[in-house]
């Protein structure tokens, strides 16, 4: 009887773990869709700023790839959602709150990215530069900058505090901390290396956006591995 009880408890824990992983993959797919939609907006904005008109064959191919990947991610979310429903396991309240915060932050980031991409049309036409460079480095109007500063400087610190103090458990806190360690060492080692390679003429000048994104990617990857492996 004891063995049967322990086996049932193990099955429940395993299903709950599988559901947590499925939910996390659903979130990542959703973030991927938001990013692709931002890329589509930037691509069409760049095309419009360059004179508009019908797309050429290469343009249709790029757009087709974007749309295909979006559909694949949407189908993956649907399949994972069906698996979660079939398992019949309830998602713990803490995990559900964790998921909702990540989804909300991903959606907010997608909106911010779309706003920045939309504002890049005038930058492309005025600078006459490479569209993607203009979208990333061109000036932004204050009507976009001020809300973004408020979101990143006021709202996000509050969300981060709430997430760390009320949402995550000890296991996820350790995963988050380990991700920070690895990301910190990557920053300390690779940033000076890039600077030296630039000084030697082997790489372009260090880019703050690329460094920030790399730091965030390492942190997120380690956190994901430690939490869901």
Residues of the chain with pLDDT under 70: 1-20, 38, 41-42, 45-53, 55, 87-92, 116-139, 228
Provide the whole-model pTM. Answer: 0.60
Report residue 88 CA to chain centroid gap: 29
Please tell me the predicted confidence (pLDDT) of residue 14.
Answer: 46
Name the token pair of 21. Answer: 């992983």
d(CA 138, CA 142): 13
Please tell me the predicted confidence (pLDDT) of residue 183.
Answer: 92
Please tell me the predicted confidence (pLDDT) of residue 48.
Answer: 66
Q: Which residues contact 104 (CB under 8 A, 6 or more apart)?
A: none
Q: Are 197 and 203 in contact (CB under 8 A)?
A: yes
């Amino acid at each position: 009887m004891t063995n049967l009880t322990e086996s049932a408890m193990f099955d429940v824990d395993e299903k709950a773990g599988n559901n947590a992983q499925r939910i996390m993959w659903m979130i990542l797919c959703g973030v991927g869709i938001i990013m692709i939609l931002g890329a589509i907006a930037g691509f069409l904005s760049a095309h419009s700023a360059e004179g508009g008109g019908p797309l050429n064959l290469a343009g249709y191919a790029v757009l087709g790839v974007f749309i295909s990947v979006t559909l694949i991610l949407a189908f993956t979310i649907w399949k994972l959602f069906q698996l979660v429903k079939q398992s019949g396991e309830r998602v713990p309240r803490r995990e559900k709150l964790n998921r909702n915060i990540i989804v909300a932050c991903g959606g907010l980031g997608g909106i911010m990215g779309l706003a920045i991409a939309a504002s890049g049309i005038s930058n492309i036409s005025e600078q006459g530069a490479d569209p993607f460079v203009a979208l990333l480095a061109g000036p932004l109007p204050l009507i976009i900058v001020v809300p973004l500063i408020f979101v990143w400087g006021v709202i996000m610190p509050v969300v981060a505090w709430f997430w760390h103090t009320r949402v995550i458990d000890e296991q996820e806190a350790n995963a988050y901390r380990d991700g920070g360690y690895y990301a910190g060492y990557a920053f300390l080692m690779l940033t000076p290396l890039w600077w030296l390679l630039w000084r030697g003429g082997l790489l372009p000048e260090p880019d703050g956006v690329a460094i920030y994104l790399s730091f965030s990617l390492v942190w997120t990857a380690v956190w994901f591995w430690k939490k869901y492996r």
